[in-house]
Amino acid sequence: MTDYLELAKSVVGQVSVDDVEAEVIIIESKNTQAKVRNGEIDQLSTSGSIGMGVRVIDNGRTGYAYTSDLSDEGITKTWKAAKSLSAVATEDEYRRLPDPQPVSDEDLEIFDPTFNDVTTAEKLEFLKQVEQAALDYDEKIALTDFCQYGDEMSHTYLVNSKGFAGSYGSTVAFAYLDAVARDEDGQVSATGLGVGVSFKDLDAVAIGQQAGRKALSLLGGKPIKTQKAPVVLDPLVGGQILGAISAALSAEAWQRKRSFLLDRMNQEVGSSMVTLMDNGRLKGGLASAPFDAEGVPTQATRLIDEGILQNLIYDSYSAAKAGTVSTGNATRNGHRGLPGLGASNFYMQPGHKSADEIIKGLDNGLYVLSVMQTGGVDPVTGDCSMSANGLWIENGEIKQAVGGVTIATTLDDFLMNISEVGNDLVQLPFMGSIGVPTLRVDNVMIGGIE
């Protein structure tokens, strides 16, 4: 069995001569993808792959090449190609490998050693149970769509010529579906989702019932009058907005002047309920790792603390340009590409109230369960507009389904008007990982009928 960490060290040793910096990453992965429709297997694939990427930096000039051929000949061709590319690249004084730092050996609980014990048959039976749980929720749940399961087990090996060498394993499993509720007046769909670092984290009945319950509650929704009112956002909805905010808190976005938060460091940008974190060391986090895609130790970074903007996320390049240090936020999409800057586990610090308690505290407002990106959410301008379906609340009680409306605000107003944060933090596998609880946001424009 090949020792891939030693192999990466060997390649670095061959490349890093004459003051040339070299980095080698090897990623080995195995995954399963499956779809179910009407209780039958609609799609099934299992695959495994291994690949190597070689980055060469010669006086600020970067070359990169990759391969899935790990024979001696294939590896030699790859690093020579990277070296040749660096010779003709444009020089950038900020392009350099990070100096090595100690990496904690704390168990981040991101690898399930029993992952391979789950058979394909068990995964398929699980997915059928997800679909059936949605269909069994109520007779008005007519069908399901996008009933899918996926998982991945991967091992990452990273070595560079500055003296860094490290490896780690990670696992993830997820399942989701749309349940479609139908009656004589029409139909509506809603999503159920489950995700975790282990197959054992997934609950088939809970995922299916979540989709069925939401879809059934939205059935027969009608527009309401156009008005400004509080909204309560389901985590799947809030996550789409937080994803844009995470992009606006990137040092790269600031350096390119593409953030609605530009030049507001140490200023109040949200209500006192808003604390936003990026934590690459979150135990059990979907995007947790002991080190980032460049070998920099991951960390917890408090970006907004009780409404005050305190920090951005950095990789080594953006940190060098800003004259600061990396926050361990270099990311990589496999071995085929160069590292870039991105969020890890980005989340809103949860509060103490349940979603039901937040709803009961509302005199009038809209509980938003699903949205479509019509106007979209723009991290540059801060514009935020989406079509929405949900439930109208009066005196703390749900009164009727609402459909065919839009909700519109700005990301500035969104942050400033968050008045309640729930205790039901949900990790969503978007842009690394977005973590969001139920949120109450006041003074949102709801576009309906006049």
| Residue-wise pLDDT tens digits, 173-206 | 999 999 999 998 889 999 999 999 999 999 999 9
C-alpha to C-alpha distance for 135 and 177, rounded to whole angstroms: 11
What's the rounded Cα separation, in Å, for the pair 196 and 144? 22
CA–CA distance, 329 with 326 (Å, rounded to integer): 7
pLDDT tens digits along 258-274:
999 999 999 999 999 99
Q: Are residues 314 and 362 in the same domain?
A: no
Which residues, including other chains, have CB under 8 Å from residue 122's CB and lie 6 or more apart? none
The secondary structure of 359-376 as a DSSP string is: HHT-SEEEEEEEEEEEEE
The single-letter code of the amino acid at 343 is A
Neighbours of 218 (CB within 10 A): 21
Task: Looking at the structure, tell me whether residues 80 and 200 fall in a common domain.
Answer: yes
pLDDT of residue 148: 98
Q: What is the CATH number of the domain that holds 182?
A: 3.30.2290.10
Segment 434-444, tens digit of pLDDT = 999 999 999 99
193-244 pLDDT per residue, tens: 999 999 999 999 999 999 999 999 999 999 999 999 999 999 999 999 999 9
Examine the fold and report which residue of 298, 330, 348 is the final residue of a domain before the chain moves on: 348
Angle CA 39–41–47, to nearest 5: 150
Give the Cα separation of 371 and 241 in Å (integer): 11
What's the predicted TM-score (pTM) here?
0.95
CA gap 300, 312 in Å, rounded: 12
Long-range contacts of 210-213 (CB under 8 A, 24+ apart): 211/134, 211/144, 211/177, 211/178, 211/179, 212/133, 212/134, 212/135, 212/136, 212/137, 212/138, 212/141, 212/179, 212/181, 213/137
Residue 309 and residue 421 in one domain: no
For residue 18, pLDDT beyond 90: no
Share of the chain above pLDDT 70, in %: 100
Task: Check: CB of residue 220 under 8 Å from CB of residue 401.
Answer: yes
Taking residues 379-391, report their average pLDDT.
96
441 and 307 in a common domain: no
Find out whether 167 and 157 touch, Cβ atoms under 8 Å. yes
Strand locations in 294-396 (E): 300-305, 308-309, 330-331, 340-341, 345-348, 364-377, 383-394
| Maximum Cα–Cα distance across the chain | 76
What would the mean pLDDT of 417-430 be, rounded to a whole number? 95
pLDDT category at 285 given cuts 50, 70, 90 is: very high
List the beta bridge partners of residue 50.
28
Q: 234 and 248: one domain? A: no
Q: Is there a single domain that holds both residue 108 and residue 148?
A: yes
435 in the same domain as 309: no
CA distances from 224 to 189, 235, 401, 440 (A): 19, 23, 10, 19
Domain hosting residue 169, numbered range: 4-212
What pLDDT was estimated at residue 430?
79
Does the pLDDT at position 431 exceed 90? no
Between the two ends of the chain, the Cα-to-Cα distance in Å is 70
Element counts in the chain: helices (H) and strands (E): 9, 20
Question: What is the chain's mean pLDDT, rounded?
Answer: 96
Helices 72-88 and 4-15, packing angle to 10 deg: 40
* 374 pLDDT tier (thresholds 50, 70, 90): low
Output the six-digit token pair for 269.
Answer: 């940008």
| Same domain, yes or no: 208 and 103 | yes
**Where is the domain boundary, 319, 348, 377?**
348
The reported pLDDT for the residue numbered 19 is 87
CB 298 within 8 A of CB 291: yes
The pLDDT of residue 1: 74
Domain count, the chain: 3
Q: Where are the alpha helices (DSSP H) in 148-231?
A: 204-218
Residues 10 and 151 in one domain: yes
* Rounded (10°) angle between helices 120-137 and 204-218: 30
Strands 340-341 and 433-436: unpaired
Assign 372 a pLDDT band (cuts: 50, 70, 90). confident
Q: What is the mean pLDDT of residues 394-419?
A: 97
Query: pLDDT tens digit string along 300-348?
Result: 999 999 999 999 999 999 999 999 999 999 999 999 999 999 999 999 9
For 151, the 3-state DSSP assignment is strand
Q: Is 268 exposed, middle or buried (0-12, 13-18, 19+ CB in 10 A)?
A: middle
Together in a domain, 170 and 253: no
Helices (H), 138-250: 204-218, 235-248
433 and 394 in a common domain: yes
Please answer whether residues 417 and 192 qualify as being in contact, where contact means their C-beta atoms are separated by less than 8 angstroms.
no
Q: Are 438 and 359 part of one and the same domain?
A: yes
pLDDT for res 373: 73
The mean pLDDT of 150-169, rounded to a whole number, is 98
Asked if residues 204 and 210 have their Cβ atoms less than 8 Å apart, the reply is no
